[in-house]
Structures are given as C-alpha cells and as structure tokens.
Structure 1
C-alpha cells in the first residue's frame, strides 16, 4: 500500500491512525501542499486524484481518495480491529460523529480555504483567526454535547473507532491555531487519552518523514 499525504494534513493524519490501528504496512509518499505552489496541483498527482487533495491510497490497482472512504475501505478489505465496530446503530453513530468533523468542520478550516480568505478575499490575519474560532467553536460544542450521549472509554462506547481517528487531527489543528479547549472538557479528556495510544503517537505529524518542525 502507498499513502500519498502531507505530514500536517488532518485528513492524512486520520488515515495514518487507521492504518496503524489495523497494523497495516504502507509506504508514505509525501505531497508537499506548499512547495512550488503546492505539489497537489501538479499534473502527475491530479491524474491520481483529480481533486488535488490529500490523502490518496493506492492498494495494488485500486486508488481510493477521501479519508473516510479510505478508512471504510481498509475496514472492509483488511484484517485487524474494526474502525466501525458494533451493530448497525453504533456504526451509524460512528459515521455521524466522523462526518461532523471531517465533512462539516474541516472543509471550512483547511488550507485551501484559509489561502482563499487571505489571498483572494484579502482578509486580515485577525479576521481569519475569527473565522477559525467561529467554526472550531461550533463544531467542538456540538461534538462535546454528543459525547455526553455516546462516549464510554472512547467517542462511541468502549471501543476505538473511526470517530476517534477523526477527533485527534482536528484537535491537533485547533491547538495549532490557538483554539482553547477549556469549554470542551469531555473532548479534551478524550483527546488526551487518545494521545497516549502507541498507534496514535506513531501517526503524529512530527513523526512523519516529511515533517518540518
């Protein structure tokens, strides 16, 4: 397996967590999102992933993009502990929480949106920070409320799942942008627990071969 990604990409981060959790070997191929205008825009990569986004998983003749699709593909095709454990109702809850972060929050705060705000719309850094505060705040408050109903040892019950794999990168990004977690005690507690897991630590941005620290 080959994983095309970027060390600080939230979507790449969640897939690395999933791969590690399932004990899968893979080769990491860096796609630098800033160098030379962004390597994701180069023709060779666009032929692999027309969206020009990371990550992209190549598994033999199969090419899969979109992080949640990749995680579900891994769960359906590979051995190891399940990222979507439990019955249909529990799996639906896991998918919903995962989408709350990956589909509702991340598209509003990712790199290309921030670049559009500052480069095309010419918003100030202060205004950009206000934008980030707003959308992180809305998403984290909703997630915090959900955790009161769904959480056990992990985001949904007592088994690690795709929802946990999605939570870690988004909190990592929030902290990088100066977002405080004091208003989200359940979320912060869970994040700290997840950081203690070996397979999560190995997926951390700073542990990647293309990391720039």
Structure 2
C-alpha cells in the first residue's frame, strides 16, 4: 500500500500554503511526516491511502505496527499454458511481497484438466494467484497483477467486453474472490519476455513438475 501526505505550511506572515507529496510506501511516509512536524511550521498533516482513507501521524505509526507482520507491497506475475490435444492447462504464478522489513518471492504452479482454451488458462492462472494470496492472509490491500495476456487484463479491468460464456464465469469467480479479499487491483500488461518466470512455471506444470517455493530475497 502506498500513501500520500497533505499538509499546510505556515509562513511568517501567518498565511498557510497547502502541499501534497508523491505516493510513497508507509515507512517513507512516516519518516517524511516526522521531519515535517520537526520544523514546527506544519499544520493539518494527514496521510491518505489509495482508497482515500486518512490518518494523522500518530494513527499512521500505529497502523504500520499493526500491518508489519502481514504481507504487503504485493506484485503478482501470472501465466497460463494450454495443450489443445489434452485440454490440459498449466498455471504459473510468481508473487513478490514484503513481510516486516523482509522481501519474499513465491513461485508456484498447478495443472488443470478439461479447460477449453489458452484464454481460459490465463483466467484460471489469475484465479490461482488469488487463492495463494488468500492462503497468505492478504486482504484489503492494493496488489499489482502483471501478465502478457492483454485481452484478459483489459477484460478484468472492464475496458474490453467479454462475450464468451466460459470466460464470463471465470470473471464472476475472480470478481467475487477479489471482493471477498477486499483487494484494490492494478493491472499491468507486460511482454512475454518480462513474464518468462511465470511462463516457465506454467510449462513445468504441463510437464507434471509441481513447484511451490518461498524464497527470502536478500
């Protein structure tokens, strides 16, 4: 989750000028707030998250302590592979997140039977990523989802219509799961080259190689 600061700067003439910051991570936001208050020239300092919720500095510090042990700053890469001959799909997910002051990566895959297309495999991979987030206890946070399927991401974003009944059922499942988890999603289309790790996991799933690995990133 990122935060934006707003505050009034009091001039010698007692005139007040309103300022706001860029979006920054929580720890940086608190540090900026503390340094601003130390000047003695700041009033009406508030912190806003991406949903518009606001806190004062004391509340913001308490919030960071409460979420310190929860996964946050989450980025998800997903990809789906499909074999038409067998109607099998391989799902690959790479998930980056922070927990406390440490950063982790999860690599995971799964094979599904009886799917109909590569697009359905992409939707299934996205839903699979949501189940991993749910198992991690992620809720009411912003998450960025990155994939190389522009059609799927644009349909999830609501910019492109979806006319296939099978895919609409996946859309409904995804929207319901995201609503349950209270996720604020950002969708980013990337190239296949930038999604090669998730693609490899999807291919390995089709080959029968099951993978689940959590790694501390130093």
Whether these two folds match at TM > 0.5 is no
User: Which of the pair is proportionally richer in strand?
Assistant: 2
Q: TM-score, normalised by structure 2?
A: 0.28
Q: Higher helix share goes to which structure?
A: 1
**So what's the TM-score if we normalise by structure 1?**
0.28
